[in-house]
Chain A
Amino acid sequence: MNPSPPAASPLDELPRVRRDLLPLALIPVIALLGVPLVGSFSTWVTLTFAGLAMGMIIFIIASGLTLVFGLMDVLNFGHGVFITLGAFLATAILGPLAGWTTSERILLNLGAVLVAMVAAMILVGLVGFLFERAIIRPVYGQPLKQIMITMGGMIVGEELIKVVWGPQAIPLLLPAGFRGSILMGEAAVEKYRLVAVVIGLIVFAAMFWVLSRTKVGLLIRAGVQDREMVECLGYRIKRLFIGVFVAGSALAGLGGVLWGLFQQSVVPQMGGAITVLLFIVIIIGGMGSVGGCFIGSLLVGLVANYAGFLAPKVALFSNILLMVIVLLWRPEGLFSVGKQ
């Protein structure tokens, strides 16, 4: 007499998450489009690696920016200053470690870079914490003031960097083991680019794991989608936000180290100069989406390198062109985070 459970109640089977993988295909499509355009295969390999490396570094920098925006609707126009700070810290740390960086042993080289990266992340994270407290905290929910005050933070930060390190460019040499390139068939690939790609992949994997497999990640993703609901469930989203902000700044510091090594010299304006690129990336990806940010960064990196080779003058606009095309296809960016 026990009531037989309904055979397949709609509740038993949750609707499956619809995965939107189409934008993922963009990277190979763009890369393959590059082959006939560039002409020579070995040049293409070189360019592709350069683009991927650049894209990875941009991703590391931009991921924090997009998450902070997604979670709290705060767009930090001063994000660039964290990059600059990271790069300058790298010069300060790698300088005394010259014994390690000039050593022939690759492990010591790697150790030096790791020390620089970790130290930059910690220090920039700390600065990010202070920045959030002093600059952003008082202007939540006031977009106009936010834009201006983060801009002001950027100005002051850049000037302070000039106070400490001086306004001139400082060379940042690659450790001995990362210089030069290795040959893959006929294509020459710079070693450092490979390192950058590997580090970028590690960061992406770690971030992906945190966001999709941990409770904190779940809360962050939920917060991005609907902040109030998460608050209603009793979580203090502001605290979460501070954590994300600090992590985002730390990542920007890490990106700054990598970017400084990529450029092999650092100037106080480097962060400001890259800010536009970061905005383009997070708009392309969909504001608040980490996956979109990843794809957007790689696209921007690849397109910038192909265009730089094919038509240097067009290259300057290639990013904006890319953004316009993507927005024509998906006005909300590649992955819309589905805000109200």
Chain B
Amino acid sequence: MFSRLLSGDLPRSRMLTLLLLGVLAALAFAPFLFPGAKALNVAAKICIFIVLVASFDLLLGYTGIVSFAHTMFFGIGAYGVAIAITRLGPTWAGVAAGTGCALLVSLLLSLLIGLFSLRVKALFYAMITLAVATAFMTLASQLSDFTGGEDGLSFKVPELLSAAFSLREAPFLGVSLNGKLLSYYLVFTATGLLFLLMLRIVNSPFGRVLQAIRENAFRAEALGYRIVVYRTLSNVLSALFATLAGVLLALWLRYNGPDTSLSFEIMIDILLMVVIGGMGTLYGGVLGASLFIVTQNYLQDLMKLASVAATPIPFLRDLVHPDRWLLWLGILFIVSIYRFPFGIVGKLRLKARPPA
């Protein structure tokens, strides 16, 4: 049954299984294990980014397409909910309407981009998506009546999810059962379901065709698969999942602005997460997102210590300055492309089954 739940795509490495179970347990019991608002925030962010990174992996790792417009779809989801709730009020109908509209917009946009530009080389596609994403971000920050411009939109969520809502007066295991907890578990459950759904997709015959296209597009075409159709479908699917991740983000943060969901920094972050975790396997997304976000939030504290220790040495002090954490992750990114192109997951799987 377990294998069926994971669509037959088992971790295939004891170490990897342990790591994944560790992440799962940590996320499932995060509110009880790690008290405090910051920890819960980190956990929720990890969940959301697991969906986002996995959806990007569907495109990059499984189909072999580099897109820089992935945060655009993430942003559409977040803006969809934000705008709908601002207009319709904090009701579930508003959330549903926003999600629906966002999915529709993403569907049309990704279809359009896909049909127009997936016929060309990978490079061209990367450039076109970069241009489109930049234009979209400018659009979002310009249409301030609609999107709140640079300031973004703060909004209320349905009462069930708001911090004021309380399930029970007495705290349970030291954690008050309020709407914040509920919304965490909403995010967590949705992440689980979406992840399993994506696992189902990549392990279906359709997913196999995508992998075939990644490996050798020419041969796949020769076998009778219309690669444009498959690439476009993969593009659309990954856009839709990214949109849903955006919806979760908006519901969790109760705020959305250009910097939280659309910015190019996030695009780079998810690229790093996919590559460090491992391309071409959704588990890589889980590990990559967890590692990256934990690093992002806690490496800086560590670096602060190092920076204080290195104060007398001028250049080194700047190298380990807490704001330079991206430098180290960037180096890790380059090294991982060279040394272990299939990321942490690939490395672990190779170790589990040494070449015959």
From residue 4 to 61 of chain A, which have CB atoms closer than 8 A to chain B? none
Interface residue? A313 (CB, 8 A)? yes
Does B333 lie within 8 Å of A152, measured CB to CB? yes
Asked if residues A149 and B334 are in contact (CB atoms below 8 Å), the reply is yes
Q: Among A69, A148, A276, A313, which residue has its beta carbon within 8 angstroms of that of B275?
A: A148
B113 located at the interface, meaning its Cβ lies under 8 Å from any Cβ of chain A in the complex: no
Q: Is the CB of A143 within 8 A of B121?
A: yes
Is A123 an interface position by the 8 A CB rule?
A: no
Chain B residues positioned under 8 Å from A272 (CB to CB): 264
Residue B142 lies at the interface, judged by CB distance under 8 Å to chain A? yes
B243 to A: closest C-beta gap in Å: 22
- A184 beta carbon closer than 8 Å to chain B: no
Q: A135-B334, A163-B321 are in contact. Are A316 and B126 (CB under 8 A)?
A: no
The answer to whether A276 touches B327, judged by C-beta atoms less than 8 angstroms apart, is: no
**B298-356 interface (Cβ within 8 A of A):** 315, 318-319, 321, 323-324, 326-327, 330-331, 333-334, 337-338, 341
A148-B275, A276-B134 in contact; A163/B337 too (CB < 8 A)? Answer: no
| Contact pick for B131, options A144, A164, A280, CB 8 Å | A280
Interface segment among A110-118, A153-161, A216-224, A227-235: the answer is A153-161
A207→B90 CA distance, assembly (Å): 61
Determine how close the nearest CB of chain B comes to the CB of A307; give it in whole angstroms. Answer: 13
**A75 to chain B: which residues have CB within 8 Å?**
123, 126-127
Tell me whether A163 and B271 are in contact (CB under 8 A): no
**A138 engages B338 (CB within 8 Å):** yes
B213 at the interface (CB under 8 A from A): no
Q: How far is the CA of A162 from the CA of B76 in the complex (A)?
A: 32
Contact, CB under 8 Å: A162 / B323: yes
Chain B minimum-CB-distance residue to A159: B327
| A156 contacts B327, C-beta separation under 8 Å | yes
A317 B338 Cβ-Cβ under 8 A: no
Smallest distance from the beta carbon of B171 to chain A beta carbons, Å?
Answer: 42
Asked if A283 is at the interface of the complex by the 8 Å CB criterion, the answer is yes
Contacts of B327 in A (CB 8 A): 155-156, 159-160, 163
Task: Choose among B130, B139, B268, B341 the residue that contacts A276 (Cβ–Cβ < 8 A).
Answer: B130
List A residues 65-113 near B (Cβ within 8 Å): 69, 73, 75, 77
Q: How far is the CA of A138 from the CA of B334 in the complex (A)?
A: 11
Q: Determine whether B122 belongs to the interface, using a CB cutoff of 8 Å to chain A.
A: yes
- Find residues 147-189 in chain A having any chain B CB closer than 8 Å to their own CB: 147-149, 151-153, 155-156, 159-160, 162-164, 167
The size of the chain B interface, using a CB distance under 8 A, is: 36
- B254 CB, min distance to chain A CBs, angstroms: 29
Which residues on B sit within 8 Å (CB–CB) of A77? 126
Report if A320 contacts B (CB, 8 A).
yes
User: Quick check: A316 and B326 within 8 Å, CB to CB?
Assistant: no
CB distance from A153 to the nearest CB of B (A): 7
Residues of B within 8 A of A164 (CB): 318
A283 to B127, CA, bound (A): 9
A138: min CB distance to chain B, Å: 6
Q: Of all chain B residues, which has the CB nearest A280? A: B131
Is the C-beta of A304 less than 8 angstroms from some C-beta in chain B? no
Is B138 interfacial (CB 8 A cutoff)?
yes
Residues A155 and B333 in contact, CB atoms below 8 Å apart: yes
Q: Which chain B residue shows the least CB distance to A160?
A: B327
What sequence of 0s and 1s flags, for each residue 91-117 of chain B, a beta carbon within 8 Å of any chain A beta carbon? 000000000000000000000000000
Q: List 14 A-B contacts (CB under 8 A).
A: A135-B334, A144-B60, A144-B122, A145-B341, A148-B271, A155-B326, A159-B326, A159-B327, A162-B324, A163-B315, A163-B318, A163-B319, A279-B130, A316-B142
The residues of B with any CB-CB pair to A shorter than 8 Å are 60, 64, 66, 121-124, 126-127, 130-132, 134-135, 138-139, 142, 264, 268, 271, 275, 315, 318-319, 321, 323-324, 326-327, 330-331, 333-334, 337-338, 341
User: Besides A152-B330, A155-B333, 4 other CB < 8 A contacts?
Assistant: A69-B123, A156-B334, A159-B324, A316-B142
Top 4 closest pairs, chain A to chain B, by CB: A159-B327, A155-B330, A156-B330, A152-B334
